[in-house]
Amino acid sequence: MKSFVAVLALVALAAADVAHLQRGADADAQIVKQEADVGPESFQYSYQTSNGIAGQESGALKNVGSEAEAISVQGSNQYTAPGGEVISLTYTADENGYQPQGAHLPTPPAPEAIPEYIVRSIKYNAEHAAREASPQSAYKARF
């Protein structure tokens, strides 16, 4: 019985997927360019690696000293996906949130036109809202 378990363990070990344990070419990538300039109210940096990864970002404080003080950032990065496609992303991040742009990002469908019966309903509700909002009409509606 022990030899059966040992043989079964050897078969399981041989059939195991260990592809994720192998070192890829990216594991030995080197930084070939790196620059940074950081100040009290602004910053900028950039980098590039030997396997084609690159990025840059800059940012600055807006409305310094006020309650509306915030940082505004612009940047980009680029790399090659496993399928060979070059992925490039640009972005801004500020008081309006993070706004990425890239050809690989999904886009929402175009908005559809509002059906005519909904437009009529909205118009009807807007015209009759004042009449139905009066206290007397609310009392009459309940009884």
For 41, counting Cβ atoms within 10 Å of its Cβ (0-12 exposed, 13-18 middle, 19+ buried), the class is exposed
pLDDT tens per residue, range 6-58: 666 766 766 766 666 667 767 788 999 999 999 988 999 999 999 999 999 99
Q: pLDDT per residue over 79-109, tens digit each?
A: 998 888 999 999 999 988 999 999 999 988 8
> φ and ψ at 45, to 5 degrees?
-150, 160
Could you tell me the two tokens for 143? 């009884």
Q: CB neighbours (10 Å) of residue 16?
A: 9
CA distance 73 to 84: 29
If you ran DSSP here, which 8-state letter would residue 66 be given? S
